[in-house]
């Protein structure tokens, strides 16, 4: 079963069609860190991360991980060891804090883009996460919370995502 990102506003899964948003500058086959583009390709998905202090643990077949206050995702192009990996907040490296004040990462699923032996600066922290207003992302794919929760009930750990 495959999630299909048909265009910058449409996510398809089986007979379900959801409105979504993608990178501010559209899609690319040649992703680069900070380019605000969503990578084109066929990828696996990871576990579900969620904020248990803000939202309930959802119904899903994915492995579910609670986001801790010190969790971050390394996007530091000068750090070969941690680039595009989960880490802890460290002011010596650039990273995206996962325990955010806003709602966007209350639920998120990493997309396995540039995952095995990540290449700098091919892009990092490409997630399926939440939106409230469909404003373009920095390269991720975002859905309304109600649609994200429906999708979580349908997908499995072997679900793939195809970004056209």
| pLDDT tens, position by position, 18-48 | 999 999 999 999 999 999 999 999 999 999 9
> What does the alpha-carbon distance between residue 30 and residue 10 come to, in Å, rounded to a whole number?
22
| pLDDT tens, position by position, 104-154 | 999 999 999 999 999 999 999 999 999 999 999 999 999 999 999 999 999
> What does the alpha-carbon distance between residue 129 and residue 67 come to, in Å, rounded to a whole number?
14
Contact between 95 and 72 (Cβ < 8 Å): yes
Number of structural domains (the chain) is: 1
Residue 51 maps to which CATH number? Answer: 2.40.440.10
Residue with tokens 């202090």: 53
Neighbours of 164 (CB within 10 A): 11
pTM of this prediction exceeds 0.85: yes
Domain that holds residue 91: 2-163
């Amino acid at each position: 079963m495959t999630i299909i990102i048909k265009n910058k506003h449409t996510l398809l899964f089986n007979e379900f069609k959801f409105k979504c948003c993608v990178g501010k500058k559209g899609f690319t086959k040649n992703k680069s860190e900070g380019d605000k583009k969503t990578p084109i390709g066929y990828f696996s998905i990871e576990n579900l991360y969620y904020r248990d202090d803000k939202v309930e643990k959802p119904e899903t077949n994915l492995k579910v991980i609670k986001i801790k206050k010190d969790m971050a995702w390394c996007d530091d192009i000068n750090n070969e060891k941690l680039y595009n990996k989960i880490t802890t907040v460290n002011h010596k490296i650039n990273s995206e804090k996962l325990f955010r004040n806003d709602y966007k990462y209350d639920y998120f699923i990493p997309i396995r883009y540039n995952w095995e032996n990540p290449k700098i600066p091919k892009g990092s922290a490409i997630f399926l996460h939440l939106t409230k207003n469909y404003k373009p992302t920095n390269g991720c794919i975002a859905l309304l919370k109600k649609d994200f929760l429906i999708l979580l009930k349908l997908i499995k750990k072997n679900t793939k995502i195809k970004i056209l």
